[in-house]
Chain A
Amino acid sequence: MGFFTDTTVCIGCKACEVACKQWNDLASDGAEFRKGASYDHTGSLGASTWRHVRFVEMLAPSPELRAEAEAALAAGAGGNAPSIPAARGGGALPTPDELGGAGGGASADDVPDLVDWAEEGAAAEMDRWIFMSDVCKHCANAGCLDACPTGAIIRTELETVLIQPDVCNGCGYCIAACPFGVITRDPVDGRAGKCTLCYDRLQEGLEPACAKACPTDSIQFGPYDELVKTATGRVQELHERGVDGAYLYGAGDEPGDELAGGLGAFFLLTEPPERFGLPAEAESPVQENVVPATAAALGAGFLAAAGVAAAFLAGSRRR
Chain B
Amino acid sequence: MSDDREPAPAVGTRAEPGAFRRAVEGARVALHRGRFGDARWSYLYGGDTRYRVDRVARDRVSAAARRARRGAPPDTVQGPVIQAPVWTWEVPLYFWFGGVAAGSSFVALACDLAGDPRSAATARKVALAGAAPCAPLLIADLGRPGRFLNMLRIVKPRSPMSTGAWALTVSGGLGALAVAADLARRPRLARAVGGANAVVGGYLGSYTGVLLSATAVPVWARSRAFLGPIFVASATATGAAACRLALVGGGLPSGHPTREAVGRVETCAIAAELALSAVNQRRLGELSPALEDGAAGRLFRGAKWMALAGLALRLARRASPFTHHLASGLYLAGGLAFRYAWLAAGRRSAADHEAVAREARR
A271 / chain B contacts, CB cutoff of 8 Å = 74
Inter-chain CA distance A222–B211, complex, in Å, is 36
B122 within 8 A of A: no
What CA separation (Å) do A135 and B317 show in the bound complex?
Answer: 63
User: B264 contacts A315, CB within 8 Å?
Assistant: yes
Shortest Cβ distance from A69 into chain B, in angstroms?
Answer: 13
A302-317 vs B: 1/0 string, CB under 8 Å? 1111011101111110
Decide: A172 and B143 in contact? CB cutoff 8 A.
yes
Contact of B158 (CB < 8 Å), options: A230, A286, A309: A286
- The number of residues on chain B lying at the interface, defined by a beta carbon within 8 Å of a beta carbon of chain A, is 133
Query: Could you tell me the distance between the alpha carbons of A28 and B57 in the complex, rounded to whole angstroms?
Result: 44
Using A146-B158, A277-B353, A300-B228 as known contacts, say yes or no to A307 and B268 having CB atoms under 8 A apart: yes
Chain A residues within an 8 Å CB radius of B60: 236, 239
Query: Does B68 lie within 8 Å of A315, measured CB to CB?
Result: no
Which of B1, B71, B79, B226 is A78 in contact with, Cβ under 8 Å? B1
- Chain B neighbourhood of A148, CB < 8 A: 156, 159, 161
Q: Is the CB of B213 within 8 A of A171?
A: no
User: Are B11 and A25 closer than 8 Å at their CB atoms?
Assistant: yes
| Interface core residue of A28, A30, A189, A247 (most chain B CB under 10 Å) | A247
Classify chain A: how many residues form its interface, as a range.
Answer: 35 or more
Q: How far is the CB of B121 from chain A (nearest CB, A)?
A: 15
Knowing A46-B1, A279-B356, A308-B265 are in contact, say whether A234-B144 is a contact too (CB < 8 A).
no
Interface residue ranges of A66-113 to B (CB < 8 Å):
78, 80, 83-85
Binary per-residue interface labels of chain A (220-245) against chain B in the complex, 1 for a CB within 8 Å, 0 otherwise: 11100010011011111101100011
- Residues on the B chain within 8 Å of A300, using CB: 206, 228-229, 232-233
Q: How far is the CA of A171 from the CA of B10 in the complex (A)?
A: 27
Partner of A220, one of B39, B144, B227: B39
Q: By the criterion CB–CB under 8 Å, are B217 and A249 in contact?
A: no
When the two chains form their complex, are residues A272 and B74 in contact, meaning their CB atoms are under 8 A apart? yes
**Cα of A148 to Cα of B151 in the assembled complex, Å:** 9
Residue A143 is within 8 A (CB to CB) of chain B in the complex: yes
Of B74, B215, B257, which contacts A319 at CB under 8 A?
B257
* Given A207-B36, A286-B159, A315-B260: A274 touches B216 (CB 8 Å cut-off): no
Using a CB-CB cutoff of 8 Å, which residues 269-319 of chain A contact chain B?
A: 269, 271-282, 285-290, 292-294, 296-305, 307-309, 311-316, 318-319
Contact digits for B17-37, partner A, Cβ 8 Å, 1 yes 0 no: 010000000000000101111
Q: Is the CB of B36 within 8 A of A189?
A: no
Instruction: Determine which of B79, B260, B268 lies in contact with A277 in the assembled complex, contact meaning CB atoms within 8 Å.
Output: B79
List, in ascending order, chain A residues with CB within 8 A of B210's CB: 289-290, 293-294, 297
CB pair B224–A217 under 8 Å, yes or no, is no
With known contacts A143-B216, A234-B51, A282-B360, A149–B64 Cβ distance under 8 A? no
Min Cβ gap B329→A in Å is 20
| In contact, A311 and B261 (Cβ under 8 angstroms) | yes
A278 touches B232 (CB 8 A): no
- Contact residues of B with A, CB < 8 Å? 1-3, 5-12, 14-15, 18, 32, 34-40, 42, 44-45, 50-54, 56-62, 64-83, 85-87, 102, 106-107, 109-111, 113-116, 141-145, 147-148, 150-151, 153-154, 156, 158-162, 164-165, 198, 201-203, 205-207, 209-211, 213-217, 220-221, 224-229, 231-233, 235-236, 240, 257-258, 260-261, 264-265, 268-269, 346, 350, 353, 356-357, 360-361
A-B contacts, 21 of them at CB < 8 A, read A25-B11, A27-B7, A169-B143, A175-B83, A176-B350, A177-B216, A186-B143, A191-B143, A222-B36, A222-B40, A244-B64, A249-B65, A249-B69, A257-B66, A277-B353, A280-B70, A292-B225, A301-B232, A304-B205, A307-B236, A308-B236
Q: Name A's B-contacting residues (CB within 8 A).
A: 9, 21-22, 25-30, 44, 46, 48, 54, 56, 78, 80, 83-85, 143, 146-152, 165, 167-173, 175-192, 204-207, 211-212, 216-217, 220-222, 226, 229-230, 232-237, 239-240, 244-249, 252-254, 257, 269, 271-282, 285-290, 292-294, 296-305, 307-309, 311-316, 318-319
Instruction: For the complex of A and B, list the 9 residue pairs with the smallest distance between their C-beta atoms, beginning with the closest.
Output: A170-B143, A297-B228, A190-B143, A233-B52, A301-B202, A279-B360, A297-B206, A300-B229, A169-B147
Instruction: Known pairs A277-B353, A279-B81; list 13 more (Cβ under 8 Å).
Output: A25-B14, A146-B214, A151-B150, A151-B156, A173-B159, A189-B7, A191-B143, A206-B34, A248-B64, A253-B62, A297-B228, A303-B232, A312-B258
